[in-house]
């Protein structure tokens, strides 16, 4: 997402775990797991942004992906959203594609899709 100040806001959204998992796994362990997942998902983008000297802030969130992305863009008063449309495999690609599609329909700011 691009903020009004020209800063890039890199967001990673993780799905909330089921109540069964929340009740059986200690909160600190879940937090470490989700932090590791976010770190892994953002590593390449962060490396590229740093290498090019592009200022950015990273935001890790939990919740429904499309809605959370749009809420974050609104909170940060972003001018646009840049979102990928593919995942690691066929099913992931379908899911992420549907997230991108939903973001387009939920937001009022311009969205750029990246394959």
Listed range (21-25, 61-65, 105-109) with the worst mean pLDDT: 21-25
Q: What is the pLDDT of residues 65-78, one digit of tens each?
A: 999 999 999 999 99
Task: State the alpha helices, DSSP H only, in the chain.
Answer: 19-24, 27-51, 65-75, 90-106
Residue 19, token pair as written in the block: 């109540």
Q: What is the pLDDT of residues 38-85, one digit of tens each?
A: 999 999 999 999 999 999 999 999 999 999 999 999 999 999 999 987
In the predicted structure, residue 87 carries a pLDDT above the cut 60: no
Task: Give the containing element (helix H, strand E) for 90.
Answer: helix 90-106
Q: How far apart are CA 4 and CA 10, in angstroms?
A: 14
CATH number of the domain at 75, please: 3.40.50.620
- When divided into structural domains, the chain yields a total of 1
């Amino acid at each position: 997402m691009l903020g009004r100040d020209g800063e890039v806001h890199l967001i990673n959204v993780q799905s909330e775990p089921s109540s069964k998992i929340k009740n059986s796994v200690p909160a600190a362990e879940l937090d470490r797991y989700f932090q590791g997942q976010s770190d892994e998902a953002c590593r390449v983008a962060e490396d590229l942004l740093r290498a090019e000297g592009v200022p950015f802030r990273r935001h890790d969130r939990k919740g429904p992906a499309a809605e959370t992305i749009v809420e974050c863009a609104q909170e940060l008063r972003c001018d646009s959203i840049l979102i990928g449309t593919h995942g690691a495999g066929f099913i992931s690609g379908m899911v992420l594609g549907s997230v991108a599609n939903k973001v387009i329909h939920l937001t009022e700011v311009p969205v750029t899709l990246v394959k």
